[in-house]
Amino acid sequence: MKPALEKLPASAEDGIHCRVIKANGFGCVWHCHPEIEVTLVFKARGHRLVGDDLASLCPGDMVLVGSNLPHDWQNDTSAPGGAQPVHSMCLHFDPDWLGRGWLDMAPMRQVKRLLERAALGLHITGQTRDEVEALMLQCPDQSGLPRVITVLKILQRLAESNDLVPIASRGFAPELDPRDEDRVNRVVQHIQAHLDETIYLENLAALVHLSPGAFSRFFKTRTGKTVPGFINELRIGRACRLLSETGIAITQIALSCGFTNLANFNRQFLRLKRIPPREWRRKFRG
């Protein structure tokens, strides 16, 4: 699952690309880029894939993505209840944004270490998340030196924080090749659109003109996940959202997420979330 190489336009005034998204989707695919990225999600129903980690999105989700780390944010438009519009914000800047060698300056040692840690992606939580959000919200109305100062404040706060959680596994090492962009996203979009149906390995393999065996190896080596494992994580992620946001019966949720029987749904949910679906619902709705 090789990511596309994305080229991002930076502001000529300050070298920072600031993007606010208000749309039906995030407008991205499985991709990577040299720029450092901070993404804040205000509203969406879907998932994010950072390296080999797949997680459900929730309001307030904030992630720091390191240089050339593959990632993808997707809004779930086919789940019961329909699509919820996306509202998110991204900041991008090149590692050499302030000139070559700026990270080697003594005052920047903590920031340099932060960006090295971001090679696995960092989930920003706690009070740090709240403080960084307040700073990010200033960026769309800024340009030039004021925005440079704001981004430096963000980096300083992150560099000093204990609220950052690594996302991808340490062994994640994708094979990067932008030529596979179309094949990868054909598969991911197909899985997302057909989560409530039986998804056959042969059909996925046919989408990218590979044999089932070759496709399984292709997928595993590039994502760190098996095809069934990836599909199950997406399905359980959708189930978590439906359990927390709706009153739909658990049996109906299982069926709408592509599970053919309740026993298998309960088993997969417990394996991935460590608690039964009924307890999950009670926890989040409470």
Predicted pLDDT of residue 181:
63
> Among candidates 207, 174, 171, 177, which has minimal Cα distance to 189?
207
Residues 204 and 79 grouped into a single domain: no
Pick from 150, 166, 182: which residue ends a domain? 166
Predicted pLDDT of residue 3:
52
Q: How far apart are CA 131 and CA 110, in angstroms?
A: 18
Strand partners, 75: 46
Residues 38 and 155 grouped into a single domain: yes
Residues 108 and 236 grouped into a single domain: no
Predicted pLDDT of residue 127:
97
Pick from 117, 148, 166: which residue ends a domain? 166
Q: What pTM, to 2 d.p., does this model score?
A: 0.67
CATH of the domain at 58: 2.60.120.280
Number of domains in the chain: 2
Q: How far apart are CA 242 and CA 281, in angstroms?
A: 9
> Among candidates 30, 43, 53, 39, which has minimal Cα distance to 225?
53
Strand partners, 92: 17, 37
User: How big is the chain, counted in residues?
Assistant: 286
> Among candidates 137, 182, 130, which has minimal Cα distance to 161?
130
Residues 43 and 95 grouped into a single domain: yes
In a domain, 171, yes or no: no
Residues 157 and 48 grouped into a single domain: yes
In a domain, 262, yes or no: yes
Residues 92 and 208 grouped into a single domain: no
Predicted pLDDT of residue 65:
96
Residues 143 and 16 grouped into a single domain: yes
Please report which residue ranges of the chain form alpha helices under DSSP H.
109-117, 126-136, 144-160, 181-193, 201-207, 212-223, 227-245, 250-256, 262-273, 277-285
CATH of the domain at 213: 1.10.10.60
Residue in this structure with the two tokens 């062994």, named with its chain if needed: 171
Pick from 166, 186, 205: which residue ends a domain? 166
Q: How far apart are CA 228 and CA 253, in angstroms?
A: 19
One digit per residue, the tens of pLDDT, for the chain of length 286 reads 445 555 555 666 788 999 999 988 888 777 888 999 999 999 988 888 887 687 888 899 999 999 988 888 988 877 666 667 899 999 999 999 999 899 999 999 999 999 989 988 999 999 999 999 999 999 999 999 999 999 999 999 999 999 999 988 665 655 555 566 667 778 888 888 888 899 999 999 999 899 999 999 888 877 677 899 889 888 887 888 788 778 899 999 999 889 999 999 999 999 888 889 998 788 766 5
Strand partners, 122: 64, 166
Planar angle of CA 130, 283, 268, nearest 5 degrees: 105
In a domain, 133, yes or no: yes
Q: How far apart are CA 88 and CA 73, in angstroms?
A: 10
Residues 198 and 159 grouped into a single domain: no
In a domain, 182, yes or no: no
Residues 130 and 213 grouped into a single domain: no
Identify the domain containing residue 206 by its residue range.
194-285
Residues 43 and 108 grouped into a single domain: yes
In a domain, 176, yes or no: no
